[in-house]
Amino acid sequence: MTTPNHAPRPMLTEAQLSRLPSEHPLRTAGTDRSPMIRAMLGDRPEHPPVWFMRQAGRSLPEYRAAREGTNMLESCLTPDLASEITLQPVRRHHVDAAIFFSDIVVPLKVAGLDVDILPGKGPVMGAPFNSMERIAELPEVPDSAFDPIREAVALTVEQLGSTPLIGFAGAPFTVAAYMAEGGSSRDHLGPRTMMYRDPEAWDALAGWVSRVSAQFLSAQIEAGASAVQLFDSWAGSVSERDYREHVMKYSAGVLSAVEPYGVPRIHFGTGTGELLVAMKEAGADVVGVDYRIDLDQAAERVGRDTPLQGNIDPALLDAGWGVLQKHTMDVLSKGKAAAAHIVNLGHGVPPGTDPAVLTRLVEFIHES
């Protein structure tokens, strides 16, 4: 007998479909019947679908070769290179989705800000956006500025067929944290102080990021992404109260801006065990869980009807196959507590990971 969970569901309403171009893969290639999208909609497809955060990246020799001599942001904004890098892990690992190769500061570069990504150091800004004067300088960004993104996405989905592409953007808190500090920091005191000392400046900054993040995700969806992930790397540095008072609405702004398209929205951050409910309430269809708590605990917190994504510990990718296999079986088993389970890591693929382990892991998960 088929359980209600296994019944085919219509993916998009007519109104939603009409918002997508006629050549969108949800209409033409049928990515909505792929195991990945079905799971994101609460279904349990024939095999557990899997993708890996940062699957397109330094763990792959073909990535290092493709990137050679091109800096990170330039790579993200060169359509055929970004597309090639996005496709590499799908070819190699046979994962169930591609994740668009990009970076959380790409919208800042698109907006014309002085930003770069330095190897081993992460994003650096020419000067921090830590005052109302500075923040007032932030430009409105025309949608056309995202054309290189659209082009890269279109090139990619053309080759992906029924394998969905997941679009990607950094969440406002994380992006605004880099902007407020002018770069990386451990404690994110800059944005956290600004929320209290100058709530208007914080609102202006996070509101601006919220708008460009929404433009960035919309461009990806319109060009062919079948799902999106909003990635809040640093959300775990705030208390739940601060999250609800000073962070959540900007993420909700991004998620609600793309809601009309009807594609599933994943919301993920690290160290966010205590924030999962708020992150769901911000407008997530799928809640991403880091490796710090078990999926059955997460399901209890957010409600068992919410599809969960996660949460193989990246530290175990290099711990030997036996250990990894046992851990993966545990993750799959605990994932059954949720309505649906998109298998992933609990954080990004570490750069030193042996890609053969990832390929084998996908195979093992598909056979589970």
Residues of this chain that bind a copy of itself (CB under 8 A): 187-189, 192-193, 196-197, 236-241, 271, 273-274, 291-294, 313-316, 318-320, 323, 347, 350
Q: Nearer to a copy of itself by C-beta: 197 or 367?
A: 197
310 is in an annotated binding site: no
What is the secondary structure of 187-199 as a DSSP string?
S-HHHHHHHHH-H
Beta-carbon count within 10 A of 191 CB = 28
Q: Nearer to a copy of itself by C-beta: 136 or 189?
A: 189
Residue pair 40/285 in contact by the 8 Å Cβ criterion: yes
Which residues contact residue 4 at a Cβ distance below 8 angstroms, ignoring those fewer than 6 apart?
Answer: none
Active site residue 54: yes
Residue pair 50/309 in contact by the 8 Å Cβ criterion: no
55 is in an annotated binding site: yes
Return d(Cα 340, Cα 305) in angstroms, integer. Answer: 8
Active site residue 178: yes
Active site residue 67: yes
Q: Nearer to a copy of itself by C-beta: 280 or 347?
A: 347
197 is in an annotated binding site: no
Shortest spacing between CB 259 and a copy of itself, in angstroms: 30
224 is in an annotated binding site: no
Active site residue 196: no
Residue pair 332/343 in contact by the 8 Å Cβ criterion: yes
Nearest to 81 by CA among 142, 149, 131, 5: 149
Shortest spacing between CB 194 and a copy of itself, in angstroms: 8
Residue pair 311/346 in contact by the 8 Å Cβ criterion: yes
Shortest spacing between CB 119 and a copy of itself, in angstroms: 15
In angstroms, the Cα distances linking 183 to 52, 122, 195, 214 are 26, 7, 18, 22
Shortest spacing between CB 72 and a copy of itself, in angstroms: 17
Which tokens go with 113? Answer: 């800000």
Catalytic entry in 32, 43, 44, 54: 54
54 is in an annotated binding site: yes
Q: Nearer to a copy of itself by C-beta: 42 or 190?
A: 190
List, by residue number, the catalytic residues: 54, 58, 67, 103, 178
Annotated binding site: 54-58, 103, 178, 233, 347
Annotated binding site for substrate: 54-58, 103, 178, 233, 347
